[in-house]
Amino acid sequence: MAVNYDPAIIGRVFETTDPVVVQAEDIRKFNQTIGDTNPRHNDPEADGGMVAPPSFAVTFRNGRHFFEHVPRFGKAGFDAGKDVEFVAPIRPGDAITLKSHVKEIYEKTGRSGSMVFVVIRSTLTNQNGQVVAHVDHRFMNRP
């Protein structure tokens, strides 16, 4: 069975989130969960100023309405990983906005059967209009 969806959905931006202001405490809590003790990532007095670890970029969420627009294939699925392209540091006090679109939809077959992948690209921008990261969220659906 071929996967059917409106190809016009690819590239369409459905929603831009409200800015989320990054707190130093948020970064520290994130570091605790991943075991990052780098002073640069934890100490506001560090040389050059505190910056978030690169993977902090994945903590920003799409708006709750975004997924209403994303096609679903089948009943089951899961998060199949994230690719992050780091562009600029995220610092405490930054106000991060997400703009997301459906980057790609593709099928593949594997040991466990057929799969449909939906890739959503989120572009993270700070209060200065500077892009700080691109995050590709990959979701696997079982048709």
- Residue 118 one-letter amino acid: V
Tell me: does residue 37 bind another protein (CB under 8 A): no
Task: Note whether 141 and 76 are within 8 A (CB).
Answer: yes
Q: 4 or 37: whose CB is closer to another protein?
A: 4
Tell me: does residue 106 bind another protein (CB under 8 A): yes
64: three-class secondary structure by DSSP: coil
Task: Note whether 51 and 117 are within 8 A (CB).
Answer: no
For strands 20-21 and 95-110, give the pairing.
antiparallel
Measured CA to CA in angstroms, residue 121 lies from 26, 28, 112 at distances of: 23, 26, 26
Tell me: does residue 109 bind another protein (CB under 8 A): yes
Work out which of 2, 45, 47, 68 binds another protein, going by CB under 8 A: 2
Q: 43 or 107: whose CB is closer to another protein?
A: 107
Work out which of 64, 113, 128, 129 binds another protein, going by CB under 8 A: 113
Residues in the chain: 143
Tell me: does residue 75 bind another protein (CB under 8 A): no
34: three-class secondary structure by DSSP: helix
Tell me: does residue 117 bind another protein (CB under 8 A): yes
Name beta bridge partners: 136: 83, 121
Tell me: does residue 108 bind another protein (CB under 8 A): yes
For residue 124, the minimal CB distance to another protein (Å) is 21
Work out which of 35, 48, 110, 129 binds another protein, going by CB under 8 A: 110
Q: With CB under 8 A as the contact rule, which of the stretches 70-78, 89-97, 102-110, 126-134 interacts with another protein?
A: 102-110
Task: Note whether 134 and 119 are within 8 A (CB).
Answer: no
Q: Please give the residue ranges that form the binding site for another protein (CB under 8 A).
A: 2, 106-114, 117
